[in-house]
Amino acid sequence: MTASPMFIIEDDDHFRETFIDVMSLRGIEVTGARTGDEAIKALKQSQPSIIIMDVQLPDVHGFDLCRKVKRLDNQKDTPVIFVSASTQYADPRDRVEGLLAGADQFLPKPITVEKLWGEIELVLNSHAKHN
């Protein structure tokens, strides 16, 4: 479905690697980063079809990272999906803040790769209609 690779920013190595493995079985390339700093460096050099981003990263809050990513010239229109395991972000106001930071969707963990893939398809289809 996506010609350009997806990008995942996730400090949980198991979740990140499982997502990359499952997507590769579907014929979809995914690259990833463990920290916000790694992500910014990589995203300056690439144009992913979509970015999956954890809210709680070791070096930066996901909302702040999303704002930084959206300020990169080559990422302004790249859709972003937040995922978070923290119940701290269960409040609808936090979800709104994530969307205001530039995200297209905000999903709770635990989440299955199948559910995440379904949300990715919805966001990509929505972006294709608006661009």
In this predicted structure, what is the pLDDT of residue 84?
86
User: Domains of the chain by range and CATH?
Assistant: 6-130 (3.40.50.2300)
Predicted confidence (pLDDT) at residue 62 exceeds the cutoff of 90: yes
Q: Which of the two residues, 37 and 87, has the higher pLDDT score?
A: 37
- pLDDT at position 23 over 60: yes
Percent of the residues in the chain that have a pLDDT greater than 70, as a whole number? 93
Side chain identity, residue 85: A
Contact 75, 97 (CB under 8 A): no
Distance CA 20, CA 4 (A): 14
- Cα–Cα distance, 19 to 10 (Å, whole number): 10
39 with 68: CB under 8 angstroms? no
pLDDT band at 1 (very low <50, low <70, confident <90, very high): very low
pLDDT tens digits along 41-55: 999 999 999 999 999
Strands (E), the chain: 6-9, 30-33, 51-54, 80-84, 105-108
Sign of the four-CA dihedral 107, 48, 40, 127: negative
Please tell me the predicted confidence (pLDDT) of residue 60.
Answer: 96
